[in-house]
Structure 1
């Protein structure tokens, strides 16, 4: 059936289009390709154009296959070049769109008004200002600067990553001032640069506002954390789409207003708007940050309904992270084990989650499983497994993994890896070895490393090394009230009350004050503030005076 349709000599694209509308996946695409090869791949220009259009535009995941097909065409026409440039500009690798244009120039194919907007879109996505400016010169050279497609593409490019003044001049030079695309592009440019006053002025002056314009302004306010202004516009939007809702939810998440984000989701569902993957990612992030496990479980159930064929890798990873941060490590493991496809982030999330929640043996076992499967770990993986070794007291194994990091995987240890080693040695009571390790570090130890060691000295009651760690913090001008408290407690644990008094005096002389601690206790749906003092420090000080 496919062969019969392809052997028709008709060059009318519209007549053949039903065949290509049915081409919705790569398998069908390959069947059509095979039929064309049998009948002479380059013999039907019309079929070639539709094959390229289907692979480059209609099927988002087929752009690499489109490039393979394109390389087999002996004399691609301008429509085919433009289609490939357009598909590449919209793909995850927009650099290929620029490369195709350069190739097109070498083949002396003259561009038309449809060519440059796609190339400029690729330059915008890549933030290639110099290349985009060079393309601007080509647009002028070929006389497309005042064509609506060319002009709007130039405004969009300069507004987003080029010169906003050039975008404004192009806009001011427009003959017709009712082009909503140009208005939206310029407004978006000012909003993305944080110039919301100018953006709002343009928005208010728009003769016609489309949904893109509304979403642009709401996004601008949300990114700046001005959620009241964003909500005012949201309430005024004549008709919303999923992007409008997602912008508001993401804005509330970024502002730390997680309850509002969740309430917005519930409202979204009530009005019948179907959430997408972006919605769920924002909400899971909110649940992870706020510890809203119950709501996170609801989101998980909704995701299973939306993705009956299985979750994407990205969603699976965020679910693992959410469950781990909410303390439900078994749920995180269930999600991990149930994923059909995993990437390194999946392994990192579950190993890190297990390690930080004290499930050290499981974290180490998963790391060993990872290496058995020949999956190459990265620096994040090693942070997780070193934390696991630290919590499990596996000093020998921790040293082995630290050496593995450098010797087998050629990863230069960073401050986090070194901090894990200091923590591991400190927990194990190997304080002298921890100091020696710091002395041999290739990178400068930061306050966190010294503070970790100071805490270990407090646990093991080592006054001398605790004083040395505190001195390093003082040299860095990074000492905090908690550091003085730790040192004071080390002295107190050994009955050295003169030392406690010395620390208190040093603290007073430095102008450092002990901050009052507080905790939140929820009772009858009300958050009650409970203020705390460091009891040990206070009792030590009273006893030293008494």
Structure 2
């Protein structure tokens, strides 16, 4: 019967399709096509009425039917339906099908985040294929079970020496990620060698190359990262961001900024938010105000990026560490949605530039705005007290200002359940005879 699948699959025609199943019970290919279209639509929930109807006739479903239904479960995060379909699969005798096993495995790994269940299912699979191995290895990496991931990869290589790895770049990306997390330099380099020598794996896969680049900049020799980056036939924004960030993190800040400038001038890829933050971080470490201003000017010329959020905070940090506290305050004022990082960064910046009183006043304003506090904020505040000479002035020795600081510090420890530290602060307050007077303004202490 000549039906056009692309027309009849619309969800509002599901009832008509279910009726058609009763009339034409042998159209498995047709109905599986409908299920496939539904899983790719915005309404995958309509897979289930059709699936339930198909189960009523043994000639109207096969292993593809279950695969599509399991995919819908993944899209909808429907655990109970997945268990139901799992039972249907076993009852119908289709459980030995590798596609179905992989679908259930993927559901446990990617949707349910249930690695123990996924591990048990994988271990019970008689002949896992490359998709099975990739799912379990990536899942183990996702939950930081890195050593187990590498052991699983080793088992994969020993048990399946003739396994077709042509489509297995995803497995290798996970393995490289595990090597990076464990700082397993020798093993990471061995994996790189395997990739280069393998006839099955296409090395010129940019995702795989970027993973290898990240490995070298994070824990391998930087010369390896430089060589790899220089020989990549195609480099995207991820490639450049990895190199800029890695160089900055390893202390090669001048080279990191130069790499960012090369990226802008070559136009090979357009820097994104992460690239710019990495470049600003390098400028901060160098204390290179002119380079930081160059990055800021580039940012200002980009209409698609705004001085807000992560970029705004990085700019505040850069200007503060480079000694331009006026510009740091200007950027702080420009940020529309100030978060805890924004406040903590400007308070620390004021402190390190000798503006202790202003830092404490800004801290008071932060409290007025109801911004939650963290340890970084208090470190900035205590730094302000030290840099500003407030301890020498006696401001923190007596009075409600000192009591307020100590009480807030104690409360912070209590909120984080660091009870011993909280009790120590309270004990010190008692020994020093401190009391926190309600309603006292720190700003009034420094009119």
TM over 0.5: yes
Residue 365 of structure 1: how far off its partner (Å): 1.6
For residue 211 of structure 1, what is the aligned residue in structure 2? 98
From 169, 178, 203, the counterpart of 1:286? 178
For residue 504 of structure 1, what is the aligned residue in structure 2? 406
The answer to whether the 8 Å contact 2:283/2:318 transfers is yes
For residue 286 of structure 2, what is the aligned residue in structure 1? 392
- In 2, Cα distance between the equivalents of 1:305 and 1:541? 67
For residue 168 of structure 1, what is the aligned residue in structure 2? 51
Map 1:185-200; keep pairs closer than 5 Å.
185-200=68-83
Q: Which moved more, 1:232-241 or 1:376-385?
A: 376-385
Once the two structures are superposed, what CA deviation does each residue of 1:371-411 show, in whole Å capped at 9, x if it has no partner?
Answer: 33233523233223222222222223322322222325653
- In 1, Cα distance between the equivalents of 2:36 and 2:207? 30
Once the two structures are superposed, what CA deviation does each residue of 1:13-71 show, in whole Å capped at 9, x if it has no partner?
Answer: xxxxxxxxxxxxxxxxxxxxxxxxxxxxxxxxxxxxxxxxxxxxxxxxxxxxxxxxxxx
- In 2, Cα distance between the equivalents of 1:324 and 1:472? 41
The answer to whether the 8 Å contact 2:359/2:381 transfers is yes
Q: Which moved more, 1:492-501 or 1:207-216?
A: 492-501
For residue 523 of structure 1, what is the aligned residue in structure 2? none
With a CA cutoff of 8 Å and minimum separation of 6, indicate the structure with the bigger relative contact order.
2
- In 2, Cα distance between the equivalents of 1:330 and 1:457? 39
Cα 1:182/1:265, change in 2 over 3 Å: same
Q: Which moved more, 1:221-230 or 1:210-219?
A: 221-230
Structure 2: 5+ residue runs without aligned partners? 435-447
| TM superposition score normalised by structure 2 | 0.78
From 244, 265, 268, the counterpart of 2:153? 265
For residue 454 of structure 1, what is the aligned residue in structure 2? 347
- In 1, Cα distance between the equivalents of 2:172 and 2:70? 28
Cα 1:344/1:483, change in 2 over 3 Å: closer
Residue 151 of structure 1: how far off its partner (Å): 0.5
For residue 312 of structure 2, what is the aligned residue in structure 1? 418
Map 1:327-406; keep pairs closer than 5 Å.
328-380=221-273, 381-406=275-300
Cα 1:237/1:366, change in 2 over 3 Å: same
- In 2, Cα distance between the equivalents of 1:292 and 1:533? 37
Residue 249 of structure 1: how far off its partner (Å): 0.5
Cα 1:431/1:349, change in 2 over 3 Å: same
- In 1, Cα distance between the equivalents of 2:81 and 2:302? 55
The answer to whether the 8 Å contact 1:281/1:315 transfers is yes
Residue 205 of structure 1: how far off its partner (Å): 3.0
- In 2, Cα distance between the equivalents of 1:330 and 1:451? 36
Q: Which moved more, 1:241-250 or 1:276-285?
A: 276-285
Structure 1: 5+ residue runs without aligned partners? 1-110, 121-129, 518-531
RMSD after superposition: 3.8
Matched residue count: 408
Residues 1:235 and 2:156 are matched in the alignment: no
Cα 1:473/1:264, change in 2 over 3 Å: farther
